[in-house]
Amino acid sequence: MLKYISTTWVHFILVIIAVMLDGGISLYLAPLLFKQPMSASPMLSLILVMMPVMTGHAQQIKRKWLYTIAFFAGMLVDIFYTGIVGPAIIGFLLMLKLAEFIQRYLSYSFSSSLAVWFVTLTAYMAYDYAAFGIINLVNLNIPNFIMFHLFPTIIINLVLLIIVYELVIYLYNATKKPDISSYDVTPRDLNGRLVLDSRSQRNMSK
């Protein structure tokens, strides 16, 4: 059934679900995630935005759609969670670009995906801290930011990555279209000989 569905649509739906799950996880686990002075932010949406790149399935989705979906996901995050349109949009696009750059030098494996995820998540958190610091919406100093926000966020998102990693790869693989360019479509008879058309056979018999 999934083979008839485009990977682009599957990726889009997964990202939208991830955006909603970020809010749901934050709401229902708020006593654990936002226990003062700690603050851990689920970023499943960012993970899903980068998953095609990290797992080697980006070629199944046109590059323009990867960035369009990242833009749309960032816009939803800004509208529903950030309250300011712009920071998450720019951040998601930059992190997708960064993930592509790093992945060029790595193989496709869980350890490589983990490395790409760690670098991009840390970069996004630093970008987010700087962006909101510029507009005076962050009161934490850098050591407290690292200890009470960055580290807890990395831990909760590592758990989320481990949970969704194999499932997302399965869905991408299930929607992968076969490469028909490698098929041998030369007509042959049961003995493995080339089948000639009737005109060629008549010319050979003369």
pLDDT in tens, 80-105: 998 889 999 999 999 999 999 999 99
Q: What confidence tens digit (pLDDT) does each residue in 172-201 have?
A: 999 987 655 544 555 554 455 544 454 444
Domain ranges of the chain: 2-182
42: left (phi over 0), alpha (psi -120 to 50) or beta: beta
Entry pTM: 0.83
Contact 16, 23 (CB under 8 A): no
